[in-house]
Amino acid sequence: ADCILVATGVAYRLLEVDGLARFVGAGVYYGAALSEARLMAGEEICVVGGANSAGQAALYFSRFARRVRLIVRASSLSVAMSHYLIGQIMATENIDVLCHTQVVEAHGGIALEAVTIIDTLTGTRETVPARALCVFIGATPRTDWLAELLARDEQGYVLTGPDIGPEGRAPGRPLEREPYLLEASVPGIFAAGDVRANSVKRVASAAGEGAMSVQFIHQYRRER
């Protein structure tokens, strides 16, 4: 091939909890399950995570659920969440923020019914009802197979366009031009979507980048 488009996305980090795996899709969701939100009317749910995506999900679910527990491993939300989100969460009566807390067990029949949580400071355990558990603990691009070929950031996301910088270009293959916006450190290799460094992690953005990359690929091939 004279061109390659890397669009492998990311893999959500899994929450390693006893009994959780069998409820994936039946009460346990990685990333937003906003399509399920209206079905949670009057229910109690849990959101795991301390960054903006978890905060946004908690606020959205609070519009429908009777109670939302935001479960955070850190000592406070300010470690990784924007101040404007923290303010909105604290002003929402049906959101309970549980810091230095972890989920340690999941319970239910054919669907999730409850989770056991532990306060990591005191060791206190409590089983609480949970119609849904939405997990926002990050994702991994899994680009180790590109490690010797392309410049990546510290987390493994593929650097493209101006993010590459002169020092990131492939040894022995200097570009006579600046890389295209979605072009990686090796000429003719492109990246689109969540696997790309500094991309907006949303479906619409990924689809847009995929469409844009086609134009750049045609332009690259015309140059050749």
Q: What pLDDT shows up at residue 92?
A: 98
Return d(Cα 162, Cα 152) in angstroms, integer.
13
Q: What is the pLDDT of residues 160-212, one digit of tens each?
A: 999 997 766 665 455 567 899 999 999 999 999 999 999 988 889 999 999 99
Return d(Cα 130, Cα 43) in angstroms, integer.
8
Reported as a pLDDT band with limits 50, 70 and 90, residue 118 is very high
- Give the mean pLDDT of 30-56: 88
DSSP 24: B
Torsional sign, CA 183, 188, 193, 196: negative
- Give the mean pLDDT of 80-85: 94
In the predicted structure, residue 218 carries a pLDDT above the cut 90: yes
Residue 132 is encoded by which pair of tokens?
């849904």
Percent of the chain whose predicted confidence (pLDDT) is above 70: 95
In the chain, where does DSSP find H-type helix?
52-62, 83-90, 203-223
Q: What is the pLDDT of residues 130-153, one digit of tens each?
A: 999 999 998 899 999 998 889 999
Reported as a pLDDT band with limits 50, 70 and 90, residue 157 is very high
Considering only the C-alpha atoms of the chain, give the largest distance between any 2 of them, rounded to a whole number of Å.
65
Beta bridge partners of 158: 152, 196
Rg (CA), the chain: 21
**Mean pLDDT taken over the chain:** 92
Q: What pLDDT shows up at residue 171?
A: 54
**Gap between the terminal Cα atoms of the chain:** 13
Q: What pLDDT shows up at residue 36?
A: 77
Return d(Cα 167, Cα 148) in angstroms, integer.
15
- Give the mean pLDDT of 61-70: 96
